[in-house]
């Protein structure tokens, strides 16, 4: 196991705070950079993310070439607000409409590859309450300043927002510690060096993203790491400490559903790689129980995990980008 | 002068064209908790933003007030000051993350005074974008230790050590658009604290109650004769005390402010309150302490001072309706140094001092245009020959 990776490929965001240096490197390499925000009912946080990124990384420093919002069909004003602040806004279902339609974060990220122009694509969650432009420039930094790094992942301390106006300083990253890290320890100990494999903030070269499949739902962060690790090795990955990130608190049941999808996605990958051989099909339903009028009632959550193929296999994509198949 | 006033409405659109930068500055500065005496992180952010905006000079003074200077074209004209207080009433443990929507920004401390500071640190870029240059240096100062127990220490210090003349000053407050303060009442802000020992032997079996004692203090203060001339008033602004519903209160505190356009009257009323406190302390055999939290002297520009008249005309041109009231802020310190100064509000808002304070984005652009207009007016020399009333 390569224990040095943590030391050599881990950075602090402050190492990239000289944004002029990043712009110079971007221009020297003749690259374009797209920021993609996947959304579903994020009207409370989306405007702040767009405003800050546009002000700091487009107007003040020309690091980003575009900000794109891919929305899963929000029922609130997410799309209107994002448009009002100048982002390019798409409904996921309107992109590649000839394909069967799915809903999920992974679907939005995959479709973003079709509508964005950048050689580098930065994905960040749209629910970050304490958004700062470091969340973006720090992910881009290692990609621009190193010739080897092709994919960069964020990590942070995660206070969670509790109640109306209070913060609790611990409690984030539970699915990581209870699900992903044990799995990585069992199958890929090297990957345990990635501090927050499930963080929703990462950036990479298009050439990487277009060559890997995207599960449409929660499993995207897990498979992305597994696929990049398998195809290009650990050395193309870097991670950056973004310090504090404040997000909405999710209850244990919601995290349970997330863990279910991630486990299923992981096992499918293991099966595909012949690392596990299941004697029977796994079930598709997560069953949770609630006490209702003195009796326990089951609640079913069905996950038909669907995976989009690498974008490079989509004819329309190849036509759009003049890629010979 | 009329020419630039005529052109003012066109600046509104120019300012609006960099709304992302202005909103970002308001959000980034306001999301840093900044209670009085704990302004260091906000000072650092102020300096960082000044440096990002490439102002000609950027430093802190010996009291840690952060200052950015945009150099003027003249070497002889005194500087124009634009100031906003950095500190906020909001406690550190409150969630300071703001919510930006299409037309509003919501979050604690936004109106007092994240907008003021956010606009202040946006001025270098607004001035650049508007293609403006001034003869005077423009000194952009965020002042610390302003509110409450801070007692305007930051601005007092800044003006004490600034050894050259100042041409004029504009103080920025978040709300309300149309606010035009050009006079400042004399003021003493005080606190009366009542504490009763639980263990003190009481010969008459009578145990006093701190809340009732303060109630008596209030009753007696209310009997003080307040003349209509000079205009004077006593405001009871804060009260707290006691432990729980069924237990006699052993401690209680009352916060009040005396305001008058006569410093002598403020002092006289304060002496009356002091006598009341001593009297009740003896009569009820309780410990009553009177503390002065802060004070300011009465000072004013006359209504027909060119700065006031120009401010009126600028607001009129921008369709802003001016509202004048006394203000006990940085303004009073400028005026007491005989520096022509006014305080203006930048936008409209609601829930002023609550955690869900909310500002409206759209009116802000007019609010900023009035600041540009005032800078141009002072730079043209409207304050140069004038005397304070």
Q: Which of B95, B98, B103 to mutate to test the interface with A (most CBs of A within 10 A)?
A: B95
What would the mean pLDDT of B144-172 be, rounded to a whole number?
Answer: 95
pLDDT category, B207, cuts 50, 70, 90?
confident
Residues of A in contact with B102 (CB under 8 A): 47, 77, 80-81, 84
Domain enclosing residue A86, as ranges = 5-250+309-320
Q: Which two tokens stand for residue B56?
A: 């000609």
pLDDT tens, B336-358? Answer: 999 999 999 999 999 998 999 99
A45 touches chain B (CB under 8 A): yes
Q: Which of B18, B20, B364 to mutate to test the interface with A (most CBs of A within 10 A)?
A: B20
Q: Is A175 helix (H, G, I), strand (E, B) or coil?
A: helix
Residue A250 pLDDT > 80, yes or no? no
Q: Which residue of B has its CA nearest to A163?
A: B95
- The Cα A11–Cα B135 span in angstroms is 46
Residues 6+ apart with CB under 8 A from A232: A150, A151, A208
Specify if A281 maps to a domain.
no
Interchain contact, B99 vs A44, CB within 8 Å: yes
Residue boundaries of the structural domains of chain B: 2-184+298-379, 186-296
Number of structural domains in chain A: 1
Measured in degrees and rounded to the nearest 5, phi and psi for residue A10 equal: -110, 130
**The domain defined by B2-184+298-379 carries CATH number 3.40.50.1100:** no
Residues of A in contact with B28 (CB under 8 A): 52, 132
pLDDT tens, A88-101? Answer: 999 999 999 999 99
Residue A103 sits in a domain of what CATH number? 3.90.550.10
C-alpha dist (Å) from residue A232 to A208, A212, A237 = 9, 11, 9
Among B20, B23, B95, beta carbon nearest to A167 = B95
Q: Tell me, what's the pLDDT at A218? A: 82
Interchain contact, A81 vs B95, CB within 8 Å: no
Q: Residue ranges of the alpha helices (H) in chain B?
A: 2-16, 19-30, 40-52, 115-129, 153-161, 210-222, 263-284, 306-317, 330-336, 362-379
Lowest mean pLDDT, pick from A28-37, B2-11, B185-194, B364-373:
B2-11
On the question of a cis peptide bond just before residue B113, with omega within 30 degrees of 0, the verdict is: yes
Rounded-to-5 percentages of helix, strand, coil across chain B: 35, 25, 40
pLDDT > 90 in chain A, percent: 77
Q: Which two tokens stand for residue A309?
A: 């193929």
Q: Which two tokens stand for residue B139?
A: 């000194």
Q: Tell me, what's the pLDDT at A184? A: 94
Q: What is the DSSP letter of B188?
A: E
Q: Domain B186-296 is in which class?
A: alpha beta
pLDDT category, B60, cuts 50, 70, 90?
very high
What would the mean pLDDT of B9-19 be, rounded to a whole number?
Answer: 96
Residue B301 pLDDT > 90, yes or no? yes
pLDDT category, A167, cuts 50, 70, 90?
low
pLDDT category, A172, cuts 50, 70, 90?
very low
* Cβ atoms of residues A9 and A239 within 8 Å: yes
pLDDT category, B389, cuts 50, 70, 90?
very low
Measured in degrees and rounded to the nearest 5, phi and psi for residue A185 equal: -60, -40
Residue A305 pLDDT > 90, yes or no? no
What would the mean pLDDT of B124-144 be, rounded to a whole number?
Answer: 97
Specify if A302 maps to a domain.
no
Q: Which two tokens stand for residue A239?
A: 């991670």
- Taking the CB of residue B47, how many other CB atoms lie within 10 A of it? 18
Interchain contact, B95 vs A80, CB within 8 Å: no
ipTM of the shown complex: 0.84
Residue A171 pLDDT > 60, yes or no? no
Nearest CA distance, B94 vs chain A (angstrom): 6
A54 touches chain B (CB under 8 A): yes
Nearest CA distance, B20 vs chain A (angstrom): 5
- The Cα B79–Cα B72 span in angstroms is 8
What would the mean pLDDT of A265-282 be, rounded to a whole number?
Answer: 90
pLDDT category, B208, cuts 50, 70, 90?
confident
């Amino acid at each position: 196991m390569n224990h040095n990776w943590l030391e050599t490929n881990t950075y602090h965001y402050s190492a990239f705070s000289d944004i002029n240096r990043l712009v110079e490197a971007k221009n020297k390499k003749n690259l374009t950079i797209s920021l993609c925000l996947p959304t579903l009912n994020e009207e409370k946080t989306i405007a702040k993310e767009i405003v800050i990124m546009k002000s700091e990384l487009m107007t003040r420093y020309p690091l980003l070439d575009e900000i794109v919002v891919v929305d899963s069909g929000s029922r609130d004003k997410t799309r209107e607000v994002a448009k009002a602040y100048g982002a390019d806004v798409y409904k996921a279902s309107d992109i590649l409409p000839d394909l069967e339609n799915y809903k999920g974060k992974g679907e939005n990220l995959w479709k973003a590859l079709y509508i964005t122009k950048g050689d580098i694509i930065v994905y960040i969650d749209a629910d970050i309450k304490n958004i700062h432009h470091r969340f973006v420039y720090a992910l881009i930094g290692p990609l621009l300043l190193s010739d080897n790094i092709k994919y960069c992942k964020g990590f942070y301390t995660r206070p969670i927002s509790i109640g109306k106006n209070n913060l609790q300083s611990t409690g984030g990253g539970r699915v990581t510690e209870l699900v992903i890290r044990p799995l990585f320890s069992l199958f890929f100990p090297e990957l345990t060096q990635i501090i927050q494999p499930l963080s929703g903030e990462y950036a990479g070269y298009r050439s990487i993203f277009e060559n890997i499949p995207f599960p449409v739902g929660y499993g995207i962060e897990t498979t992305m790491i597994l696929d990049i690790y398998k195809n290009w090795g650990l050395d193309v990955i870097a991670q950056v400490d973004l310090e504090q990130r404040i997000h909405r608190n999710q209850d244990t049941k919601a995290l349970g559903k997330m863990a279910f999808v991630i486990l299923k996605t992981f096992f499918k990958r293991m099966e595909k790689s012949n690392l596990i051989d299941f004697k029977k099909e796994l079930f598709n339903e997560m069953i949770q129980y609630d006490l209702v009028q003195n009796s326990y009632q089951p609640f079913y959550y069905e996950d038909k995990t669907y995976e989009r193929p690498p974008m490079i296999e989509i004819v329309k994509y190849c036509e759009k980008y003049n890629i010979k198949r | 002068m009329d020419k630039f006033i005529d052109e003012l409405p066109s600046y509104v659109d120019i300012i609006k064209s960099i709304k992302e930068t202005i909103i970002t500055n308001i959000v980034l500065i306001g999301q840093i908790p900044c209670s009085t005496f704990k302004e260091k992180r906000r000072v650092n952010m102020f300096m960082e933003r000044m440096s990002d905006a490439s102002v000609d000079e950027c430093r802190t003074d010996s009291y840690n007030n952060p200052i950015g200077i945009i150099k003027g074209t003249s070497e002889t004209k005194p500087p124009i000051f634009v100031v906003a207080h950095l500190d906020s009433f909001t406690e550190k443990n409150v969630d300071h993350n703001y919510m930006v929507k299409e037309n509003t920004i919501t979050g604690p401390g936004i109106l007092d005074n994240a907008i003021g500071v956010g606009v202040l640190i946006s001025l270098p870029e607004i001035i650049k974008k508007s293609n403006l240059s001034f003869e005077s240096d423009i000194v952009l100062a965020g002042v610390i230790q302003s509110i409450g127990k801070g007692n305007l220490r930051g601005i007092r210090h800044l003006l004490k050590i600034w050894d050259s003349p100042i041409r004029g000053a504009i103080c920025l407050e978040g709300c309300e658009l149309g606010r035009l303060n050009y006079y400042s009442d004399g003021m003493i802000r005080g606190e009366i604290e009542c504490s009763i020992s639980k263990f003190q032997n009481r010969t008459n079996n009578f145990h006093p109650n701190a809340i009732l004692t303060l109630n008596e203090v209030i009753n007696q203060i209310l009997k003080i004769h307040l003349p209509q001339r000079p205009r004077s008033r006593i405001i009871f602004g804060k009260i707290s005390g006691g432990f729980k519903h069924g237990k006699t209160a052993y401690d209680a505190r009352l916060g009040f402010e005396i305001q008058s356009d006569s410093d002598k009257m403020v002092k006289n009323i304060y002496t009356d309150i002091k006598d009341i406190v001593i009297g009740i302390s003896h009569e009820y055999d309780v410990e009553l302490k009177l503390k002065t939290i802060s004070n300011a002297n009465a000072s004013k520009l006359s209504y027909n001072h060119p700065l006031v008249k120009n401010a009126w005309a600028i607001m009129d041109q921008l369709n802003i309706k001016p509202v004048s009231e006394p203000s006990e802020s940085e303004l009073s310190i400028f005026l007491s140094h005989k520096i022509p100064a006014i305080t203006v509000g930048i936008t409209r808002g609601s829930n002023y001092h609550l955690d869900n304070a909310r500002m409206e984005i759209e009116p802000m652009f007019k609010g900023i245009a009035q600041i540009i207009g005032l800078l141009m007016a002072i730079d043209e020399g409207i304050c140069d020959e004038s005397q304070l009333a």
